[in-house]
Chains A and B, each alone.
Chain A
């Protein structure tokens, strides 16, 4: 099927050139499930064509993982083997590509969920996260369409339809996707510049069921349209991405908010989520469906009820335009404006590497083991920036970006 091959080839090209922005001489690690092999193969070709020194495909098999979780000794669940740690530390200075897209969303459902949650090679994951947060690796996450996800999205395993949605959201339907991404990234970066320039003291969201004021931090910059490594390699960590985002002051959230899209949360769908905030904390949580899943998450630690991210997305979003719920954060958080309760996104805050969690919180930066995005934007929601004296400046009206 030449059409399919060429779709995957252009997608891979995008992942390598725009997403990870693989540099000549870099090694490229691709983390994927065995079911993602067709895309991984195209990525390998594109990476070598971009001058990669070596490409390693690191396939994970969820069925083998299932056996591990079912049988491994308790004390081995979080064990990191020496080669796993060595592989994670080898990322420094190199490129990392991760493929999302769960082929069997129900595979692990009947396992002991507590063991499932604990089964992570913690030391290796920390090393990978350190490379990502330390900006020593140019990385990206892209998705591979599987029948399992299509079934979740459409109620039938229509993979072709899911691919078409993916193509639209990652701009593969453009004659020159790489060029389209350059323009798109520049648009998002321009929005960040506009917001950083205005240095709003707070944001105000208003719409049906929503009247929410979120305090911002003076030293937190807006991010979006990609990151730069310490070596200056610009990469786009998520394909697709439509958001500009910032870590808010977790202590200054007030008012009510109502979600505008369903939220997929660990196998549960939460709809019509409503929250009331006082002094930064969600003090009331309700929903049409699935409120308990959110309440459960908020009980995990003391700071899960406070916000860690606010992100602005307008009606230009191609993800939003599909009208679909993808049951994957990679897509769903790019559909519309969202906020996240839990840990702060710290890419835009300098000089905090050595701060303890308490020191970070004292500066208004939230620390939690939870980070859950939910969607609060749409045509009926107006977003304003507020100056310190409370003067509003329109940012989004009728789903259209207002700043120039």
Chain B
């Protein structure tokens, strides 16, 4: 691994991703195995004028010990000081890193306990900060052996790095400039959908026949976010999607995942959901269904939808033809939907009752060449949006 590439990558995360402002603090959340990237992020952040960089390391083995051996109340225990730490994110920048070094670590644990092991109070603080748009944040992945092994069947970290560099446009001469252009193109797609004002989307494909309502007051947007104080940031590196928050009261049918989903240290495959009146009423999967069931039971509104995202075949992530088994990547390979909380950024003003409120938000991939998506107008007319992985509405 070349150190220069790592420094450039960290630079991109700090300048484009979080867009850290001089005098801000940066809070980094990383697995211990991501230490080389966390260290590079700290260097890049201080170079960009950070006042202080706090790196909080997570250790999934310690978490595993808790799930396996800890008392029941450990699963949701939230230290007071950790709340103080997350409250301090207000007005500051945060960066989290992904790239699971041991994707099967939790596989032999009780899936229901794995799903329940969440610091709800922390999730609630972060959700509220997101809603108030107080934090400029971003997420990016750190290639590592365990993750590479899961992706390629062998621990070829260099090959994974090349894929990551391609997807995040680090291979461009001026990545910062390449990102500016890329985001402008996604913004144009979102503008087109906003102009057409569909009432619903209809998904059809193998195992999928799904209709979901859209909201009048929710826009389509790209992942070019803006804090309340006007800092523009890109919360996901890479990002290829345009997305909106659907009407959580209007969803019906069957929907099937098309890619594996890495969740809470487990991998869910062949997920098949049955949806009635907005709510997920049945969960089946070839693998890992209990983790989903556990998550859906974690609060009353977890089983309702919070996001729809459209991605076509021009996606750099999709072009790699790699299943990364990491949501940050896979959700950008193809169309996806999420159950759990809606994204407040898409609303002008108050979201209203149509936006789902929950402490959970889990994306899963439903797109691919066999999926067709139509926009449905109020009078029932269907307009093709995606066919065979190609965008149908013009660039």
Which residues of A are interface residues toward B (Cβ below 8 A)? 27, 34, 37, 40-41, 44-45, 47-49, 51-57, 59, 61, 63-64, 67-68, 70-73, 76, 79, 81-84, 86-87, 90
Contacts and interface: CB of A to CB of B under 8 A. Distances in A.
A57 B82 CA distance: 12
Interface stretch (B12-20, B62-70, B107-115, B221-229): B62-70
A81 B88 contact: yes
Nearest to B23: A73
A51 to B, nearest CB: 8
Contacts of A72: 46, 51-52
B32 interface: yes
Contacts of A54: 66, 70, 74, 77, 79
Nearest to B60: A41
A82 B54 CA distance: 13
Given A44-B65, A81-B88, 10 more contacts: A41-B59, A47-B65, A48-B70, A51-B71, A54-B79, A55-B65, A57-B57, A61-B55, A68-B42, A86-B84
A67 B43 contact: yes
B38 A68 contact: no
Given A48-B65, A54-B70, A37 B59 contact: yes
Interface string B178-206: 00000000000000000000000000000
7 A-B pairs with the lowest CB-CB distances in the bound complex, closest first = A86-B81, A48-B69, A71-B46, A83-B85, A41-B61, A59-B57, A87-B81
Nearest to A47: B65
A87 B79 contact: yes
Nearest to A59: B57
A71 B52 CA distance: 9
B266 to A, nearest CB: 19
Contact of A90 (B50, B54, B79): B79
Given A27-B79, A55-B62, A73-B51, A64 B42 contact: yes
B80 interface: yes
Taking residues whose C-beta sits less than 8 angstroms from the other chain, chain B's interface range is 20 to 34
Given A34-B57, A52-B70, A40 B62 contact: yes
B79 A64 contact: no
A18 B272 CA distance: 50
7 contacts: A41-B65, A54-B70, A55-B70, A61-B42, A64-B42, A67-B43, A68-B42
Given A40-B62, A54-B70, A76-B52, A64 B39 contact: yes
B283 interface: no
Contact of A70 (B46, B62, B66, B68): B46
B35 interface: yes
Contacts of B57: 34, 57, 59, 61
B88 A61 contact: no
Given A83-B82, A86-B84, A34 B35 contact: yes
B353 interface: no
A46 to B, nearest CB: 9
Contact of A61 (B35, B47, B62, B85): B35
Nearest to B50: A71
A49 to B, nearest CB: 6
Given A53-B71, A55-B66, A90-B81, A34 B52 contact: no
A64 B84 contact: no
Nearest to A29: B79
Given A41-B61, A48-B65, A48-B66, A67 B32 contact: no
**Which has the most chain B C-beta neighbours within 10 Å: A57, A73, A90?**
A57
Nearest to A86: B81
Interface of B: 32, 35, 38-39, 42-43, 46-47, 50-55, 57, 59, 61-62, 65-66, 68-71, 73-74, 77, 79-82, 84-85, 88
A67 B69 contact: no
Contacts of B82: 56, 83
Given A45-B69, A83-B84, A90-B79, A67 B42 contact: yes
A83 B87 CA distance: 9
A89 to B, nearest CB: 8
B62 A57 contact: yes
B53 A44 contact: no
Contacts of B80: 86, 90
A49 B70 CA distance: 8
A249 B6 CA distance: 57
Q: In the complex, which of the residues B42, B47, B54, B62 has the most CB atoms of chain A within 10 Å of its own CB atom?
A: B62
Contacts of A76: 51-52
Given A56-B79, A83-B85, A64 B70 contact: no
B44 to A, nearest CB: 9
Nearest to B86: A83
Contacts of B62: 40-41, 44, 55, 57
B46 A67 contact: yes
B65 A45 contact: yes
A53 B65 contact: no
A88 B227 CA distance: 32
Given A40-B62, A41-B59, A90-B79, A53 B73 contact: yes
A404 to B, nearest CB: 45
A68 B51 contact: no
B110 to A, nearest CB: 15
A57 B74 CA distance: 14
B53 A67 contact: yes
Among B35, B47, B59, max chain A CB count under 10 A is at B59
Given A44-B62, A64-B38, A82-B88, A53 B74 contact: yes
Contacts of A27: 79
Given A37-B32, A90-B81, A83 B39 contact: no
A40 B59 contact: yes
Contacts of A48: 65-66, 68-70, 74
Contacts of A57: 57, 59, 62
A54 B81 CA distance: 14
A98 B387 CA distance: 58
A75 B359 CA distance: 38
Nearest to B84: A83
Nearest to B69: A48
A144 to B, nearest CB: 13
Contacts of B74: 48, 53-54
A44 B79 contact: no
A84 B85 CA distance: 8
A63 B35 CA distance: 9
